[in-house]
Amino acid sequence: MTNDDRPALGHFPVARPMTTRWADNDMYGHLNNAVYYQLFDTAINAWIIEATGVDATTSAAQGVVVESGCRYFSSVQFPEPVTVAIAVARLGSSSVTYDLGLFAGTTDSDAAPPTIAARGRWVHVYVDTTTRRPVPIPDDIRALLATADISGRTTTSDETDTRDRDDR
């Protein structure tokens, strides 16, 4: 595994602090793998809803997940705070691919920098809520997504976590 697989928080244009819950821990004492997906989903949708005011229950188009994946680097456990970081890796006409990082810790300036615990990939395809056929991403959402688009950017050293760590 290369350091490029473990970007630092600076790689991601959007960072959202999240809280873990007691029920997120599994019998092994750390967040269950499915919880990472819930945190990714919540962060993406909260960002879009808060920034655009879109109401997914009444909108003519909705982003549905058609692909997802996650690589785990280290465990996280309740009550540890986490930061979910969001970047747009690809912005198509009806789809968007997110590059996501789940970081252990917070972005508080007094705290140590958060370390990446997992990296996710998430693809939304926007569909008509009636026909369920792909449609163009709504303009207000597209404008927001463009603010986090890193598809043409070159990674810099402050965007890569260069510390040596064991995988688990």
Q: Which residue has the higher pLDDT, 164 or 77?
A: 77
pTM: 0.85
Mention every residue, 6+ apart, whose C-beta is less than 8 A from residue 10. 156, 158, 159
Q: Is the predicted pLDDT of residue 9 greater than 80, yes or no?
A: yes
* Helices assigned H by DSSP within the chain: 33-52, 139-146
pLDDT value at residue 157: 42
Q: Is 4 helix (H, G, I), strand (E, B) or coil?
A: helix
Q: Is the predicted pLDDT of residue 161 greater than 50, yes or no?
A: no
Amino acid at 119: R
Q: Which residue has the higher pLDDT, 160 or 164?
A: 160
* 134-146 mean pLDDT: 98
How many residues in total does the chain contain?
168
Closest by Cα among 143, 126, 145 to 134: 126
Domains and CATH numbers, the chain: 3-152 (3.10.129.10)
What distance, in Å, lies between the first and last C-alpha atoms of the chain?
13
Q: Which residue has the higher pLDDT, 18 or 165?
A: 18
Closest by Cα among 38, 60, 66 to 122: 66
pLDDT value at residue 143: 98
Q: Is the predicted pLDDT of residue 128 greater than 90, yes or no?
A: yes
